[in-house]
Structure 1
Amino acid sequence: MLTFETVLTVFQAYLEKDPAYEVVQTSRGLTVLEWNPPGDSWCDAHLCRTPEELRDTLLDSYANYLEYAELTQGKRDLTQAEARMIQAARDVMLERCQKEDIK
């Protein structure tokens, strides 16, 4: 059974690198906050009621990070090769969540 702890463990290294996203505990559950640069106000929030919702939200933010921070800096469209690379990296994270879930 997938747990919040498993998802947070899998995405820990990514979350430490990406200042735009933060996972916080709220009274209603874990929430993923998206911050506006330079980080003085948040621009979006996603309440994650289940570990699967957290996993999917973080998979999307991870893909966005790879596209904008690592590859294009928002200055151009992705190439097909880059899009495939991002999908492969996303698939690796998904697989890690599934493997951790089995333990």
Structure 2
Amino acid sequence: MQNYAPWRLAAAYQVWQDKRRAARRPADEPIALFGLTGLNQQARPMVAVESRDAAPRLRMIWSASNARLTRALWERPAGLNAALLATRAS
């Protein structure tokens, strides 16, 4: 989670909802960001994002789905990481 960019969650969730709606699929449930390891069973704990009152919220869900929100939508861009590292080095 070191590249987590909370300011990008609302837009990322909206992109996911738009794609689901275009495919005529349910779009209001939470979508997993990543799974938590350590359990050897089908349904595993995952950190997911959902939207309530137009505000993104993280929550823990249990899911057997492989669906994940694309990391490029909710992580810091590589260029920002490079700029932050350059600033720290100076």
* TM-score > 0.5, shorter chain as reference: no
- Tell me which structure has the larger Cα radius of gyration: 2
Normalised TM-score (structure 2): 0.31
